[in-house]
Amino acid sequence: MVCDRCLMSVRNTLEQQNLKYEHISLGRIEFKEELSKTQLQLLKEELDDSGFEIVSERTDKIVNDIKSLIIEWVYERKDFENKKLSQVLSEELHYDYSHLTTIFTKAEGQSIQSFQNKIKAERIKELLEYDELNISEIADKMGFGSAAYLSTFFKKEAGLNPSQYKLRHLERKPLDDI
């Protein structure tokens, strides 16, 4: 789940199936009680029809949690008290960062940093398309030290500088395809 509409869709599915939950967040549902095999199968089928999947393997859950935290970090600029991503991931997921890196890289074929950079690039594309902020404002919003640093980063990730991208309006990737 990578957006508010995703959360709403999953919440509606749970309510339609009369499943009681404690909390729903990006990539995670905490149920009030354990689901039966039948309930889990029905939920899986309904979520599959909506384009979601249930992740239950431990390593898959860890990878999903890493992705969710990175998306929160980039899209919501969630306040993690000026900590580095590696520290946040270790604290939130209760694993050493080197272990998380190994699991993520093996499962995804890319590093956590590479994934974060791709998510940042997609967010910058989105902000450029909205055309509500100038490059300096986007740089500030995204936590870059300057517009020049954002432009250098964006050119490396997207192959174009932000101005060129705005002129071409290339198609963005859905976050779940990154």
Residue-level pLDDT at 30: 84
pTM of the model: 0.68
Instruction: For 115-177, give the CATH class.
Output: mainly alpha
Which tens digits make up the pLDDT trace of 78-128?
666 678 899 999 999 999 999 999 999 999 999 999 999 999 999 999 999
> Which DSSP string do the residues of 98-137 spell out, in sequence order?
HHHHHHHHHHHSS-HHHHHHHHHHHHHHHHHHHT-S-HHH
Residue-level pLDDT at 48: 85
Q: Is the pLDDT of residue 3 over 80?
A: no
Q: Is the pLDDT of residue 172 over 80?
A: no
Closest CA to 40 of 65, 14, 12, 76: 14
Q: Is the pLDDT of residue 2 over 60?
A: no
CB-count burial class (<10 Å; 0-12, 13-18, 19+) for 145: exposed
For residues 6 and 24, what is the distance between their CA atoms, to the nearest angstrom?
A: 11
Residue-level pLDDT at 171: 67
Radius of gyration from C-alpha coordinates of the chain:
18
Q: Is the pLDDT of residue 1 over 50?
A: no
Which segment of 8-12, 53-57, 140-144, 151-155 scores lowest on mean pLDDT? 53-57
Which tens digits make up the pLDDT trace of 106-118?
999 999 999 999 9
DSSP H/E element including 162: helix 162-168
Place of tokens 């694993």: 95
Q: Is the pLDDT of residue 169 over 70?
A: no
Q: Is 169 left (phi over 0), alpha (psi -120 to 50) or beta?
A: left
Can you give the residue ranges of every domain in the chain? 4-49, 58-110, 115-177
Which tens digits make up the pLDDT trace of 48-68?
888 887 766 778 889 999 999
Helices 97-108 and 85-93: crossing angle, nearest 10°?
Answer: 90
